[in-house]
Amino acid sequence: MDAVIKSFPPHAEKGPDATEKKHYMDKPLTARPSQEEVEAAISTLLRWTGDDIAREGLIETPARVAKAFREMFAGYDQSPEEELGRTFEEVQGYDDMVLIKDISFHSHCEHHMVPIIGKAHVAYLPDGKVVGLSKIARVVDIFARRLQTQEAMTAQIATVIQNVLKPRGVAVLIEAEHMCMAMRGIRKQGSTTLTTTFTGVFKTDFQEQARFMTMLRDKHG
């Protein structure tokens, strides 16, 4: 299996520990077309493929695709910042790494709108408070359910956790297969892309980076 490894900074504008609010931390506001306009657009695409939109199997396809898109791109109606809003300070002095491994996700490439399928691994070093583990997975899901590049998604997850929870550091690693490589273009099935983003202590302390990577490899870590 081929692997492409990329390390991506949290955001090109300010850097990993910036407090300036980024647009992707809110629910994006866009003027959506009507249901009728969406179904008409899908019908046009179906005709463009060369198929007969009047045949039985395609009659309900525009409505089904519109419904599927609402589900697959539900992240535009959700705020990752709100998901991280409730924290817990009764941690009994715990200040070591919290690592959530193997968070599976399905996203879509913003260049070709074909699937990106992979797993995210997220760790942070608490600074007096923690967040529910499911909230981290929800943040991954929110960003995944938007048109994405893997590099941007990796940085967005790290930045929103850093800015909202304000831990001593965040580490994010995403490994994914891109259908734009497997289904079209060079058509290389099984190629995996790895991207990482580190903030705070994880960025400055290479021993912490190494511990994060070791815990990912350790099945019992």
CB 78 within 8 A of CB 25: no
11 a catalytic residue: no
60 a catalytic residue: no
Which run of H or of E encompasses 10?
none
> From the candidates 36, 37, 60, 110, which is the catalytic residue?
110
> From the candidates 150, 156, 162, 208, which is the catalytic residue?
150
- Residues with Cβ < 8 Å from 110, sequence gap 6 or more? 147, 148, 149
- Per DSSP, the residues of 94-156 read --S-EEEEEEEEEEEETTT--EEEEEEEEEEE-SS-EE-HHHHHHHHHHHHTSEE-HHHHHHH
> From the candidates 121, 156, 178, 208, which is the catalytic residue?
178
189 a catalytic residue: no
35 a catalytic residue: no
Query: Residue 39 is encoded by which pair of tokens?
Result: 């179904």
Angle made by CA atoms 74, 77, 82, in degrees to the nearest 5: 115
> From the candidates 112, 151, 177, 209, which is the catalytic residue?
112
111 a catalytic residue: yes
> From the candidates 82, 151, 177, 180, which is the catalytic residue?
180
178 a catalytic residue: yes
126 closest CA partner among 153, 90, 81: 90
150 a catalytic residue: yes
> From the candidates 82, 109, 151, 209, which is the catalytic residue?
109
> From the candidates 35, 37, 106, 111, which is the catalytic residue?
111
- Catalytic residue annotation: 109-112, 150, 178, 180
